[in-house]
Amino acid sequence: MALILHAGKTNKNAYKALIAAEYVGVQVELAPNFEMGVSNKTPEFLKMNPIGKVPVLETPKGPVFESNAIARYVARLKGDNSLYGSSPIDYGHIEQWIDFSSMEIDANISRWFYPRLGFLPYLPPVEEAAISGLKRALGALNTHLTSNTYLVGHSVTLADIITTCNLYLGFSHILVKSFTSEFPHVERYFWTMVNQPNFRKILGEVKQTEAVPPVPSAKKPSQPKESKPKAKNEPKKEAKKEPEKPKVEEEEEEEAPKPKAKNPLDLLPSSKMILDEWKRLYSNTKTNFREVAIKGFWDMYDPEGYSLWFCDYKYQEENTVTFVTMNKVGGFLQRMDLARKYAFGKMLVIGSQPPFKVKGLWLFRGPEIPKFVLDECYDMELYEWTKVDISDENQKERVNQMIEDAEPFEGEPLLDAKCFK
């Protein structure tokens, strides 16, 4: 009889056993109509795995759970295959790479990917550590693959199956070309594996992702409405026999939002500086930037109605990966969208070699950084903020250079410059 694998059709951990089964010649079938979050909560499933995790392999002699254990079981069902090598040292090396792939590659991809899906809390230092660990692991794998087509020996083993499935999650969802190109032998290995007939039969056509998933926006959950208590002994009102309103309309009426309170910045005294006029001047100036845009900025600037701030990222030593550093800045600007009506900003990524420096200049309405920005944009606490003293000519010149993307900036080339307007 066929072995039944309880898992979803796109579960990369299920692919390990399914690919191993193709090499061994064992029939393994996915459980029909499996629905994650439903099927794995049933009493029948919990008898097979008490904590409800997938995949689980149902066999005539009892269930097996944990994906690597399932793949090992399937690989050993027939002795006439090479998935476990041909000697004790091959076996040891295969197990070595299975553990390495699980602890160093899969774990770090998961720590990077799942928070961006909202499955785990998104914490920038945790992401930085995951990327750093993944980069170290792929570097080690790349070195090994410099002189090896497969991980162990001269043919596909279980180590290749499990490692490729772990890499599949990354290549498909978060490892863009600019990241993987630093590891050319890993790229060659991955594309060789996924195009093997037994891999391709299970995985289908594999395409590399073109973008890293964005960081989820941190929205505060809405508070549940308190129901109004009924007065004691209040007589029941007779229901009038009138046509009922559609339920949707009733719900919309009950959920109608209260008028928003005015932003405190809208209550400040009027300023001679019109922020939109400055943003238009900045965007439309294509030549003679110093003479037109910079001069225009200082002509407009109102130190009583606005304030200028320098920001420096607190953890510059972590900025070792080019695209991650730029994505970090892009995510910050995306989350600053709540302040677009009241702010203008420039963010610079500086340096030709890692670690890169991230520095910025911000113009805010009011004499201080708006409280709602500090409260709602968690990136703010990742930066040191210093108010610009416009009476200091050196600071004023630094403002000019940041607005115009002057290069070199403070003696170093610009890797990237982004504008928030």
CATH number for 192: 1.20.1050.10
Distances (CA, A) of 91 to 80, 83, 88, 195: 15, 9, 5, 25
Evaluate whether 245 touches 149 at the Cβ level (below 8 Å).
Answer: no
- Helix (H) / strand (E) containing 63: strand 62-65
Q: Is residue 39 part of a domain?
A: yes
* Count of domains for the chain: 3
Asked if residue 224 is part of any domain, the answer here is: no
Q: Are residues 117 and 72 located together in one domain of the fold?
A: no
pLDDT tens, residue by residue, 122-154: 888 889 999 999 999 999 999 999 999 999 999
User: Are residue 278 and residue 411 in the same domain, yes or no?
Assistant: yes
Q: Are residues 190 and 157 in the same domain?
A: yes
What tokens were used for 340?
A: 């677009």
- Tens of pLDDT, residues 88-109: 999 999 999 999 999 999 999 9
**CA-to-CA dists, residue 2 to 27, 59, 220, 307, 308, angstroms:** 5, 8, 48, 71, 69
Examine the domain organization and report whether 293 and 411 are in the same domain. Answer: yes
The residue out of 51, 76, 101 marking a domain boundary is 76
Cα gap 322→370, rounded to integer Å: 31
- Residue 67 shares a structural domain with residue 33: yes
CB of 99 closer than 8 Å to CB of 91: no
Boundary of a domain, candidates 76, 101, 122 = 76
C-alpha dist (Å) from residue 223 to 52, 226, 261: 31, 9, 17
Which positions of the chain have pLDDT values less than 50? Answer: 220-232, 234, 236-258
Which residues span the domain enclosing 60?
3-76
Residue 59 lies in a domain: yes
Same domain as 168, residue 57 = no
Both 62 and 130 in one domain: the answer is no
Residue 12 lies in a domain: yes
Rounded to whole angstroms, the Cα distance separating 136 from 2 reads 40
pTM over 0.85: no
| 92 and 178 fall within a common domain | yes
Mark whether 283 and 366 lie in a shared domain.
yes
Per-residue model confidence as pLDDT tens digits over 237-248: 444 444 443 333
71: domain CATH number? Answer: 3.40.30.10
Q: Domain with 394 in it: what CATH number?
A: 3.30.70.1010
Residues 334 and 374 in one domain: yes
